[in-house]
Chains A and B, each alone.
Chain A
Amino acid sequence: MQYKEAIKRNIELLTDVQKEAASWDEGPLLVLAGPGSGKTRVLTLRIARLLVESSDDNFRILGLTFTNKAADEMRTRIRELIPGMDKRLYLGTFHSFCAEVLRNHGSHVGVKPDFTIYSENEDLDEIVSEVYSYLLRQGKINPLNVSKVLPIIQYLKSRLILPESDLSSYISNIEDRQAIEMIYMNYEQKLKDLNALDFNSLIMKSYELFRKYPFVAKHYRTIYPYICIDEFQDTNQGQYNLVRSLTLGKHNNLFIVADDDQVIYQWNGASASRVEEFRKDFNAQVIQLPENFRCPPEVVQLANNLILYNVNRSKDKKPLLAKKPIQDSFEVNLEYFPDYPTEADWVAEIIQETYALNQNKTVAVIARNRKLIQPIFEKLKANEIPVVIGQRKNEFESTQLSWVHFILRLAHKRNDKKFLNKVVSNFSLLTESTLNAEEIIAWSKATDGDYLRGFLIAVQKGILTDGHLLKSLEFDLVEGKDFFRFIEVCFGWLDEHMDISQNKEDVLYYDEKRVWDDLQSSLLSRYDREELTLGMFLQELDLLSKEAEPDGSTVQCLTIHASKGKEFDFVYLVGMVEDELPSFQSKKKGDHSIEMEEERRNCFVAITRAKEILTMTYSERYNGWVKQPSRFLYEMGVLQQND
């Protein structure tokens, strides 16, 4: 067992507390892990150790994360530790796990195994509008601001509030409440008719399933006697209830990693007290990992100074301990400007200077909100510095990728009008042809109802001249022989097309094609090519973000929320004034409100992204208004009250 030895050696290299956590076997455990404390390392080593030590057993381990990226990263690390032994491990986000649960056992709550996931708000809004105008026509509701409805429904669903529940504590106006109740109910019905679920339904329906049919939860406890949850502090009430209904308090091997000082999703239902709640509900042991291996000691000091101002913290929480060896390059800077344009220019310029030095350093610009980032992003872009704004992308945006994705979806669901429309419109853009989706539908309905075949017949009439692609479309896709070969042929054709012109659209194409290639090879590393059916491929694709992973030399412009879980050599935290960080809304709630504490945690998260240099900037005026320096600058001790 060479892996057993290797794991042992790896664990030996840990600090004592890390070792204790990585060697944890049974019983509920809360690992309170500060930023940069090596928690992923501890988590992956523990999982690898459990798998290796039980190689004759057949139980599985469930690892839940909040992002696919985190799951992928953990999977990669575990594969490096114990190649080929991760078959007994399910690593995924809450949402992908719930999708799995519902595909396998959803029939108890009326969910079919082959449901589609609607991840785009655009699609969901369409459903809301459809339902709204229907109800309006029927005279069942009075007009209201329809654009507000989807966010309200999503808010309710994320809190597991079903349409039939009493909504009076959420919507005070009776008329609005009744209208929303009705729209919500019809919205759910419509999704059901479409055999579709939105993201919130994944959690909500799984929760309903576990609660109404406890034996399904028991089934998962049998299969997965070990459950690990990363970034537990981010769970909202819905997700926490899901975990509780899954474990039913009888599950002793729940291993969670959390930091209540990094809760920044309160607005989405996360809560600083969740960690404490878990500790009580599960009577969990606690191991603290306060050692910080990421940030310069000075940053650690600032973080410790700052977070002490929060009162709602885990009891006996230890301050961070700076463990990173001191380097000459370490710096903490504070810069002051007359107004935000000057501040933004300065940041862009200094980044440009840094970039010119080509030091191979990773750089991030971080701010409380998107608005602050935008001017810096524009500036860097104008100066031809590689830069991205971090955001989740649920659908491909380039015409090319969108076409490939939708034609595959159509191949899987041959009579879907929406898919055909997208295929036709993207294809028309690509080839400057004039195809008519309605004609294809009419023709298909008269024959076998297969819109994809209809599309093939339509493009065969001289519209698509590439014989190779036509043949592949016919055999590999319409006749279902090998959709991977079709993808390959398709990209070959698109690449050829691209060479003609180098416009903006094409850059997007190459970026997204890289994402596609990554996603495809990630899936192929998890499944045999033969086993990966089109349906499965599309289902997996649905849950993945289509955002490109920037390479190391690209400057990342991030909101604090998007920066979570990442680290950079140089961090520029901009807009450090009252009304930005802390936000205007939190100030309205009061200086000692939980909202204000969340702002403080935002600041805590932002500064602890820095590995070498932390630069904070602020200005006198924003949009012409005079703003005071952020209170957090004082609390951290970088500004003194009399400065």
Chain B
Amino acid sequence: MHLKMVTIRNFRGLRDVSVPLDKTTVLIGENNSGKSSFLDAVRLCLARGGKRSSPFDEYDYYTNENISNPKDTEGIQVQFLFQEEKPNEWSETLIRNLGELAQPVAWDMNPEEAIYTVRVSVTSKYEEARNDFYLNIEFLNPEGEPLPPRNQTNTSWSNFIQETPVFYLSALRDIKESFGARSQFWGSFLRNINIPQDKVVEIQDSLQSLNEDIFTNDERLEGLKTTLENIQEVIALGAGDTVSIQALPVRIWDLLSKSQIVLKGRGGNVSFPLQRHGQGTQSLAVLFLFQAYIDVLLKSAYSRTANAILALEEPEAHLHPQAVRALADQVQRIDCQKIITTHSPYFFQNLDLLNIRVFKKNGSETRVHYLKEYVSTRVVAHHGLERFVESKKGKFHYNLSSSELKAYAPLNEHELNALEGMNRNSEHFENISEFYLKSQQILDKDERTDLYTFAQRTRGELFFARGWLLVEGQTEYIVLSYFSEVINKSLDTNGVTIIDFQNNGSPGAFVKLAKSLSFTWRLLSDSDDQLEGTLSQIKKTGYSEEETNRLVKILPWIDFETYLANEGFINEYEAILGDKVREVTVPRHSAEYPIHIANLIKKDKVGNALKFVEYLKNHNFDSRRIPELLRQLINECVGEANAI
């Protein structure tokens, strides 16, 4: 069973979020943004204990400045939707196990066929009459109405929970606990060790004789035993040998419970127990142990058709970047559904952008943002619609029974007009333009590949930033970083990442990404040939003229160097250029002079940018000289990043 969607209301900081889940879903966001609350909601609600006792405590109920007492809140509501991706994915055995909890609904792609769903609602609210928080777990039909009581029994719940065990591995994985005799995974292995009875006797006999060997080889132990036997004189004990000293446990279970994993480090020849290795190695070991558990024991501990959900918190903790990357691959291979929180760009370097969910605090409540593969709207079943959808070859999909139209790529003007034409006189007409706008946020495959190559792989940290400053090249990067420090508004320390889009694909892809994932952003553009294109890409993403004007700062010159040369940094540039200044043929006071200087500077943009900053640092740069446009840009970026 694949958990497709979780909707949470009023649980801690999660006032109202809906999060679709993939086979692997990665939750990112700053500390305290609600990622752990999300994992907790999933594991608490889908716990084995289930129906009778509430897994929540009173701090779990969402409160704010208006309602501070958990008893007065609307109560926690969590809904889970399990769903097949395509028909016949779930086995007959699974469907029979689930019985009526499994609800077939028409499949979008072909309404003749059905996909199975299971909907579960968990609610908890204070009830005056009972003077207590009550817990209500219900299975729902596709309309969201509770199934009949016969299918709401404890038996239904425990059968269901057998199919979807949730395992939680926290950021700090305690090796002693994880590998203790009573631990969930390791303990299960130990308990499942099956030694034939005659062999048990044999082993126990040899343990006994080993014990005696140790014992008889030290006289002092014999003496100790004799002394201890005097106990008999004080209290009555059983007949025969009453006192024995066991150097080794003589029962198999005792022995097994002391089993430990021993690793040999690279380059050494001494084996150490796992506890003696570094924290990173220990964490890794727990993960591998979990994988082994899933592979070997899950189906016998739960249902044969069980599909586990792993809630994994910060798997990267204490690991080397290379190891983190390797770990990410390893985790993907664990045969279960994974929900992972991470703060490591290395961890999601190789994942699909579509798997990322960005958690952000907005005031006291969390919002979750993610990229959408498609957008949908309702339209009338027009006779031309079928032909329209047909002719667009996979870009659109129409579901006749729900009259829902899906778009898998941004619509163009023609398509907008065609759809508006077909819905001219319908109630849906007004939704079409919104549908068009929403569709503009869809990243197509090429854009995703670009972003993967230029951003995700090499600059993963930008997904952890509070805001983005999009600039054309590296010069801006170097100079603006410095300027921001000079005015005490360091972009770095304020969580603003500078992205030089020229080298990293198109500005449009970044703007779409920023809009979808709700990053605040500013863009600094030259007045060059590309400006028009950049502006139109931004507007297409759904920004108004006014918004675009606010978000995009335009340098009044053809590039950043020329801009600086004209904004009073001509002396610095001359100093950097040294003798090369002589190559300028126009007079120093002429209007063309700065342009010519800038052209020389541009012959080694990056090198000169570094020299420029170096020069300013060494010459007591006066921050008042920073051009107003750039100062404003920095202030806005930092201001907005901190406003969140």
Contact = CB atoms under 8 A, between A and B. Distances in A.
Interface of A: 58-60, 100, 103-105, 107-108, 112-114, 213-216, 218-219, 222-223, 479, 527-528, 530-531, 533, 535-536, 539
B342 interface: no
Contacts of B145: 107, 112-114
A103 B103 CA distance: 12
Contact of A219 (B104, B143, B147): B104
Given A105-B141, A531-B153, A113 B103 contact: no
B93 interface: yes
B151 A531 contact: no
Q: Which 10 interchain pairs have the tightest Cβ spacing?
A: A215-B114, A536-B149, A103-B148, A531-B153, A107-B143, A533-B149, A104-B100, A58-B96, A215-B104, A107-B141
Contact of A223 (B95, B113, B151): B95
Contact of A222 (B92, B103, B150, B153): B92
B114 A218 contact: yes
Given A104-B151, A112-B143, A531-B155, 7 more contacts: A59-B96, A114-B145, A215-B106, A216-B114, A219-B95, A219-B114, A536-B148
B129 interface: yes
Given A531-B154, A533-B149, A539-B148, A105 B96 contact: no
26 contacts: A59-B92, A60-B96, A103-B148, A104-B100, A104-B141, A104-B148, A105-B104, A105-B141, A107-B141, A107-B142, A107-B143, A112-B143, A113-B141, A114-B146, A114-B148, A213-B104, A215-B104, A216-B104, A218-B114, A223-B100, A531-B153, A531-B154, A531-B155, A533-B152, A536-B148, A539-B148
Contacts of A214: 112
Contacts, number: 79
B96 A223 contact: yes
A100 B148 CA distance: 8
Interface in B81-103: 92-93, 95-97, 99-100, 102-103
B401 to A, nearest CB: 10
Nearest to A216: B104
Contacts of A105: 100, 103-104, 141
A113 B147 contact: yes
B95 A222 contact: yes
A103 B96 contact: no
Given A213-B106, A216-B104, A113 B153 contact: no
A198 B580 CA distance: 98
A536 B150 contact: yes
A305 B450 CA distance: 90
Interface in B105-120: 106, 112-114
A539 B149 contact: yes
A460 to B, nearest CB: 17
A104 B154 contact: no
Nearest to B303: A58
A535 B96 contact: no
Nearest to A214: B112
B97 A58 contact: yes
Nearest to A480: B129
Contacts of B104: 105, 213, 215-216, 218-219
Contacts of A533: 149, 152
B204 to A, nearest CB: 34
Contacts of A213: 104, 106, 114
Contact of B147 (A59, A104, A215): A104
B63 to A, nearest CB: 26
A479 B113 CA distance: 45
Contacts of B152: 533
A104 B130 CA distance: 30
Contacts of B95: 219, 222-223
Nearest to B148: A103
Which interface residue of A60, A100, A103, A216 has the most chain B CB atoms within 10 A? A103
A422 B537 CA distance: 70
Contacts of B146: 113-114
Contacts of A58: 93, 96-97
Contacts of B151: 104
Contact of B113 (A100, A112, A215): A215
A60 B99 CA distance: 9
A223 B129 CA distance: 41
Nearest to B304: A58
A150 B198 CA distance: 78
A222 B92 CA distance: 7
Contacts of B149: 533, 535-536, 539
A61 to B, nearest CB: 12
Nearest to A535: B149
B154 A530 contact: yes
Contacts of A535: 148-149
Contacts of A216: 104, 114
B509 to A, nearest CB: 41
Nearest to B151: A104
A88 to B, nearest CB: 9
A298 to B, nearest CB: 49
A87 B5 CA distance: 32
Contact of A113 (B112, B148, B154): B148
B199 to A, nearest CB: 29
Given A113-B141, A531-B155, A219 B148 contact: no
A214 B104 CA distance: 10
Name the residue in B97, B113, B150, B151 with the highest tally of chain A Cβ atoms < 10 Å from its Cβ: B150
Nearest to B113: A215
Contacts of B97: 58
A112 B129 CA distance: 28
Contacts of A527: 150, 153
Nearest to B129: A479
B118 to A, nearest CB: 12
A389 to B, nearest CB: 34
A536 B92 CA distance: 28
Given A104-B147, A104-B148, A479-B129, A219 B102 contact: yes
Interface string B148-184: 1111111100000000000000000000000000000
A218 B92 CA distance: 11
A103 B147 contact: yes
Contacts of B129: 479
A527 B153 CA distance: 10
Nearest to B102: A219
Contacts of A219: 95, 102, 104, 114
Nearest to A59: B96
Nearest to A217: B104
Nearest to B143: A107
A107 B148 CA distance: 12
B104 to A, nearest CB: 5
A100 B147 CA distance: 10
A114 B154 CA distance: 19
Nearest to B140: A113
Nearest to A479: B129
A530 B152 CA distance: 11
A59 B150 CA distance: 18
B105 to A, nearest CB: 8
Contacts of A112: 143, 145
A526 to B, nearest CB: 10
Contacts of B96: 58-60, 222-223
Max chain B C-beta neighbours (<10 A), residue from A60, A107, A114, A527: A107
A528 B100 CA distance: 19
Nearest to B101: A104
Contacts of A107: 141-143, 145
Nearest to B152: A533
A376 B150 CA distance: 45
A356 B154 CA distance: 54
Contacts of A218: 104, 114
Interface string B589-608: 00000000000000000000
Nearest to B98: A223
A19 to B, nearest CB: 29
A108 B152 CA distance: 20
Contacts of B155: 531
